[in-house]
Amino acid sequence: MNCHYYLIVEPLLLEYHDDVSVQPSSFAVVKTKLKEYKVSFFTNTNQLYMIRIDIPNVADKALQQKELETIQMIKEHILSVLRLTYDHDVSLFPRLLWNFRKLGEALNFHVKIEEIVNPNFDPHIENIRNTFVTAFPIRVQIKLIADAQDKRLPLQYRYLSLYKLLELEFKKKKKWTKQIEELTDRFEEEFRTLRQKKNLINYIHSLRDRCAHIKTTKGFIAVTQLSNKDMLEIDRFLPLMTKMCVTLINEKYRETGISLVNREAFYQKLKEKGI
């Protein structure tokens, strides 16, 4: 079985096809000790709109750790090259698109992308206005939380933004205050649902070290990118870290009128309302 991994280059088109009727404009081959990965570039008249990474000989629709690391390395290199040769501000669509194909089967990939606006959505404009005004004195903290929500930023940067917020709130003269324990104690039970046996505070610090001092397996020099294993672990923990920081700011500055939205909790409420 072969696997095809698609990188969609923004701005988005309405539809994407990859079959016998579509031919890439160019391609390159990345060779490793185990496999050759074909990287194909698709363009229209004036736009590079899609890149396909072919992973051959995949067993049972399951990629191995080495394959995932290679894909991540290729993806990161592609984005770096595009920002230096194509468009300094280019971004990749944050959603992952995969296509598994049995050996001998014709390639057949077709997807539509459409932005849908919820007609029942309430923008809560007064909360936006109040938070804009009252949060101005702590705009640095607000920016750190906002950066952590931006999926176009590297995952390690997003996590370190939240860690920096905790430092601003709980670190005095290079030492952590006891107030951080008062915050983390409230989330220990939720932390256990992630199947973590470590102490929450120690775990927060350990992830910080992994983000700040990236190491990967032999053969991969990860100056800018986490290993796939670390990425999955940090991505799984990031929502709880965000919830802690949002709770901290909401409670500490409640009297000033600040009310930040926890994204996961917000969408859960919409789901419960059937919106």
Quick: pLDDT tens for 53-77. Answer: 999 988 877 788 888 888 988 998 9
5 pLDDT more than 90: yes
| pTM for this prediction | 0.72
C-alpha–C-alpha distance, residues 210 and 89, integer Å: 28
C-alpha–C-alpha distance, residues 56 and 30, integer Å: 12
The mean per-residue pLDDT over the stretch 172-198 comes to 89
Q: Dihedrals φ, ψ of 18, to 5°?
A: -150, 95
DSSP H helices, 86-199, are 125-134, 139-148, 155-170, 179-185, 188-192
The mean per-residue pLDDT over the stretch 114-124 comes to 80
Residue 225: band (very low, low, confident or very high) from pLDDT cuts 50, 70, 90: low
